[in-house]
């Protein structure tokens, strides 16, 4: 088979892969191939912020995965959307931009990963950002001229966000100095999220990084091209086998192969290529290149509980459900590029402590001026807001200790994998989530909210004891789609998959650059950290190339 030749092959055009494609092709010296299993992102439901309600269940844009039944979640199987399109999950996500807490990265470094401390990564976050508006630009350490547009919600937030902030103050929470401020002391508290949009359109990694590079003659972007395995000569990665248009192809990489297929597919690709747990490779009849028990293990994710309320005042339900409301919202969008269609529904937020004694915020809050208790099963709730006014408050532990794993179900990497998140299995996780549920109750009872809330719909007033709230968590808590750590970074192959240069331990010319390398889950949402890893990864590749 004729194999096209490149210097670098990047597998996956997601948050991190798009950064790499741009940076590695920038000076024109290297021939770069970017393989993406999904297709173009030029679709309204990707570009229009509110469209993520539709991409959530769209198999043309989304891998639509499911976990194994989870014992601690009442035997429920979780739904895991993952972007399958240029931009990857950044093309279908809720656009919330949060770097994490500086201590997260200090912790990464302390685990034996030099170059990943806060002092190293803060300037990288800064150079990715182009913050809009004076308030964000005035914050020290914020970027103004990077590729990723970041804006605050001050202009467009729903009026109930002001009520949320008043209720938070009444419940004793400080006002956050900004969720991307330079210190955790400033981050702590309640506030409004920053999001990735510009001109009313989603700012995905594809828009920020790939589009400006797309015309470079030395960058080839292959869509509907799904990598099936890394090709090795001995223990050196020399290329990638992939399927495109129903046919098998191969491409050769003279310098390096870089997996950026995300926290689910990067470890699966390694396993399918013979780098993974020995027993799994044996069971599936995959010729082993190198046994490494960590590939697909140490999976972390954020698990969230929503409390849902009926309100006495209008919410987004009245703007997003009736046709009259939708027409008004569409008109507002067309005239101003603003309003609810230009936003995420996650508008208010917070980073708070479950108990005063914990050293730093360990709970993340969301306030969304919308409710969906009546959405039909299998339909993205966002598309079916309740026919009455409602809102939701949500809480999630920032740094869960539970660790899951994922693996191939068959030797074919494109088969749906086995995903076992093991949520709530570490004994410390449930108490933090329960404390989160208690915080939601405190917020809802604060005078500002008590005035507008007419009824708690879920879990409902009958659930008062710890046992009842725990039962509710087991019945309803779900992922907020932040899997990571499945090819984690660490100094030795005994406990990790890649080293601090993101090189796969024990083999040559193969790196992993995406959320799978996070040594531990960051305290907030994971898109900004994945883009930061893309930037750092590009630096490391270019440094190695001299
Ligand atoms: C519904 C949803 C909402 C979210 N909301 C937020 C949010 O508001 N804020 C936030 O910070 N984070 C959010 N996240 C998480 C965040 O978007 C991800 O953590 C981040 O995008 C991960 O980046 P990545 O580069 O690791 O992987 P991805 O962006 O997922 O990219 C992986 C890419 O690799 C491709 N790929 C996989 N296998 C192959 C293969 N075999 N061959 C070729 N290509 C392949 C995929 O199709 C995909 O394009 C959300 C995620 C989802 C799914």
- The CATH number for 466's domain is 3.30.410.40
Ligand 1 lining (C-beta closer than 6 Å): 11-17, 35-38, 56, 81-84, 88-90, 92-96, 98, 226-227, 260-263, 265, 269, 413, 481-482, 514-515, 525-528, 530
Do 365 and 334 share a structural domain?
yes
Specify whether 206 is located in the same domain as 286.
yes
Which of 476, 494, 510 is where one domain is finished?
Answer: 476
Ligand 1 centroid – CA 97 distance (Å): 14
Task: Give me the half-sphere count of Cα atoms (radius 13 Å) on the Cβ side of residue 285.
Answer: 3
Q: Is residue 326's pLDDT more than 70?
A: yes
Same domain flag for 205 and 320: no
382 occurs within a structural domain = yes
Q: Give distance in angstroms: CA of 15 to centre of ligand 1.
A: 6
Task: Decide if pLDDT at 196 tops 80.
Answer: yes
Q: Give 40's pLDDT tier (boundaries 50, 70, 90).
A: very high
pLDDT digits (tens, 9 = 90+) for 79-97: 999 999 999 999 999 999 9
Domain-embedded: residue 123:
no
Distance, first Cα to last Cα, the chain: 32
Same domain flag for 446 and 495: no
% residues pLDDT > 70 (the chain): 98
Provide mean pLDDT across the span 265-292: 98
Distance (angstroms) between ligand 1 centre and the Cα of 205 equals: 10
- Residue with CA closest to ligand 1 atom 27: 262
Same domain, 272 and 415: yes
Whether 156 shows a pLDDT value over 90: the answer reads no
Instruction: Quote the tokens at residue 225.
Output: 């091209």
pLDDT at 134 over 70: yes
CB 34 within 8 A of CB 21: yes
Beta bridge mates, 285:
none
Query: Does 206 score more than 90 pLDDT?
Result: yes
Neighbours of 508 (CB within 10 A): 14
Domain assignment present for 481: no
Q: Cβ(341)–Cβ(48) under 8 Å? A: yes
Using DSSP's 3-state secondary structure scheme, residue 131 falls into: strand
How many residues does the structure list for the chain?
546
Among residues 515, 539, 513, 511, the alpha carbon closest in space to that of 529 is found at 515
- Decide if 143 is inside a domain: no
pLDDT in tens, 402-437: 999 999 999 999 999 999 999 999 999 999 999 999
Q: Render pLDDT for 378-390 as a digit per residue (tens, 0 to 9).
A: 566 666 889 999 9
User: Same domain for 76 and 94?
Assistant: yes
**Pairwise CA distance, residues 258 & 344, whole Å:** 32
* Atom 23, ligand 1: residue with shortest CA distance: 15
Q: Please, which residues have CB within 8 angstroms of residue 427's CB and are 6 or more apart in sequence?
A: none
Identify which of 23, 81, 83 to mutate to test ligand 1's pocket (most ligand atoms within 8 A of the CB): 83
The total domain count for the chain is: 2
- For residue 312, being part of any structural domain is answered with yes
Question: Residue 72 to residues 103, 202, 483: CA-CA distances in angstroms?
Answer: 29, 36, 18
Query: 349 and 173 in contact (C-beta within 8 Å)?
Result: no
Q: What is the pLDDT of residue 428?
A: 97
Q: Decide if 236 is inside a domain.
A: yes
Q: Give the residue-averaged pLDDT of 293-318.
A: 97
The whole-number pLDDT of residue 377 equals 62
The gap from C-alpha 388 to its chain's centroid, in whole angstroms, comes to: 31
**Residues of the domain holding 50:** 1-113+198-301+403-422+486-546
Output the pLDDT for position 374: 76
Q: What is the mean pLDDT of residues 269-295?
A: 98
Q: What is the mean pLDDT of residues 187-211?
A: 97
Q: Are residues 160 and 236 in the same domain?
A: no
Residue 116 — pLDDT band, cuts 50, 70, 90? very high
The closest-lying atom of ligand 1 relative to the alpha carbon of residue 81 is 53
Mean pLDDT calculated for residue range 251-255: 98
Query: Ligand 1 mean position to 464 CA, how many Å?
Result: 37
Mean pLDDT along residues 508-536 = 98
- Judge if 253 and 268 occupy the same domain: yes
Please write the tens of the pLDDT for every residue from 276-288.
Answer: 999 999 999 999 9
pLDDT, position 339: 87
Based on the fold, state whether residues 262 and 355 are members of the same structural domain: no
| Catalytic residue selected from 107, 249, 482, 505 | 482
Nearest to 291 by CA among 317, 264, 273: 273
Same domain? For 84 and 179 the reply is: no
- If one compares 319 and 531, the residue with the highest pLDDT of the two is 531
Question: CB-based burial of residue 44 (10 Å sphere; 0-12 exposed, 13-18 middle, 19+ buried)?
Answer: exposed
CATH code for the domain in which residue 236 is found? 3.50.50.60
pLDDT at site 382: 66
Tell me the three state secondary structure of residue 98. coil
Q: Please indicate, yes or no, whether residues 441 and 360 belong to a single structural domain of this protein.
A: yes
Higher-confidence residue of 340 and 83: namely 83
Residue 136 lies in a domain: no
Mean pLDDT, range 482-508, rounded to an integer? 98
Report the nearest atom of ligand 1 relative to the CA of 97: 11
Nearest CA owner, ligand 1 atom 49: 88
- Predicted confidence band at 320 (pLDDT cuts at 50, 70, 90)? confident
Distances (CA, A) of 401 to 50, 360, 431, 453: 32, 16, 12, 34
Average pLDDT over residues 248-261: 98
| 317 and 380 in a common domain | yes
Tell me the CA–centroid distance for residue 515 and ligand 1, in Å.
8
Average pLDDT of the chain to the nearest whole number: 96
- Final residue of a domain: which of 456, 476, 496? 476
> 288-300 in b/e burial notation, b at 16+ Cβ within 10 A?
ebbbbebbbbbbb
Which residue from 59, 527, 538 has its CB within 8 A of the most atoms of ligand 1, so it is best to mutate? 527
Is residue 141 in a domain? Answer: no
pLDDT tens digits along 435-471? 999 999 999 999 999 999 999 999 999 999 999 999 9
| Catalytic-residue membership of 249 | no
């Amino acid at each position: 088979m004729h194999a096209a030749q490149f210097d670098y092959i990047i597998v996956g055009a997601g948050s991190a892969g798009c950064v790499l494609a741009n940076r590695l092709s920038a000076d024109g010296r290297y021939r770069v191939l970017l393989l993406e299993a999904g297709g173009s992102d030029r679709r309204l439901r990707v570009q229009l912020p509110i469209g993520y309600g539709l991409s959530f269940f769209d198999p043309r844009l989304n891998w639509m995965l499911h976990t194994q039944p989870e014992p601690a979640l009442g035997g429920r199987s979780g739904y895991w959307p993952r972007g399958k399109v240029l931009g990857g999950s950044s093309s279908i996500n809720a656009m919330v931009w949060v770097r994490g807490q500086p201590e997260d990265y200090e912790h990464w470094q302390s685990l034996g990963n030099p170059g990943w401390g806060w002092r190293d990564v803060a300037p990288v976050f800064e150079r990715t950002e182009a913050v809009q508006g004076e308030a964000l630009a005035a914050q020290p350490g914020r970027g103004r001229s990077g590729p990723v547009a970041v804006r605050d919600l001050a202009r467009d937030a729903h009026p109930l966000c002001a009520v949320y902030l008043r209720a938070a103050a009444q419940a004793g929470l400080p006002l956050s100095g900004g969720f991307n401020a330079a210190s955790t002391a400033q981050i702590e508290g309640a506030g409004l999220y920053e999001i990735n949009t510009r001109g009313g359109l989603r700012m995905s990694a594809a828009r920020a990084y790939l589009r400006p590079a797309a015309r470079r003659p030395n960058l080839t972007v292959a869509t509907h091209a799904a990598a099936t395995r890394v090709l090795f000569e001995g223990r050196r990665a020399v290329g990638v086998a992939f399927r495109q248009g129903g046919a098998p192809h191969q491409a050769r990489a003279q310098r390096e192969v870089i997996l950026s297929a995300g926290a689910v597919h990067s470890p699966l690709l390694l396993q399918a290529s013979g780098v993974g747990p020995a027993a799994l490779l044996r069971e599936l009849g995959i010729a082993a290149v190198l046994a490494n028990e960590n590939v697909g293990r140490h999976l972390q994710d954020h698990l969230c509980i929503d409390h849902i309320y009926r309100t006495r005042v209008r919410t987004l339900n009245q703007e997003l459900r009736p046709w009259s409301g939708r027409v008004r919202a569409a008109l507002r969008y067309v005239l101003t590029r603003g309003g609810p269609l230009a936003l995420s529904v996650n508008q208010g937020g917070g980073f708070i402590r479950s108990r005063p004694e914990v050293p730093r915020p360990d709970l993340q809050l969301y306030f969304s001026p919308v409710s969906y208790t009546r959405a039909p099963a299998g339909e993205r709730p966002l598309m079916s807001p309740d026919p009455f006014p409602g809102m939701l408050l949500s809480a999630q532990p920032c740094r869960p200790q539970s660790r899951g794993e994922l693996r191939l179900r068959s030797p074919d990497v494109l088969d749906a994998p086995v995903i076992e998140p093991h949520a709530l299995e570490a004994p410390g996780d449930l108490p933090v989530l329960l404390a989160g549920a208690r915080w939601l109750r405190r917020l809802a009872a604060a005078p500002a909210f008590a005035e507008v809330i007419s009824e708690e719909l879920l879990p409902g007033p009958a659930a008062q004891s710890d046992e009842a709230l725990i039962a509710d968590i087991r019945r309803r808590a779900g992922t907020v789609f932040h899997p990571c750590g499945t090819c984690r970074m660490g100094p030795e192959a005994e406990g990790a998959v890649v080293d601090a240069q993101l090189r796969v331990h024990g083999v040559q010319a193969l790196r992993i650059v995406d959320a799978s390398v996070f040594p531990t889950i960051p305290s907030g949402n994971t898109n900004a950290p994945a883009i930061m890893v893309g930037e750092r990864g590009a630096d490391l590749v270019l440094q190695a190339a001299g």
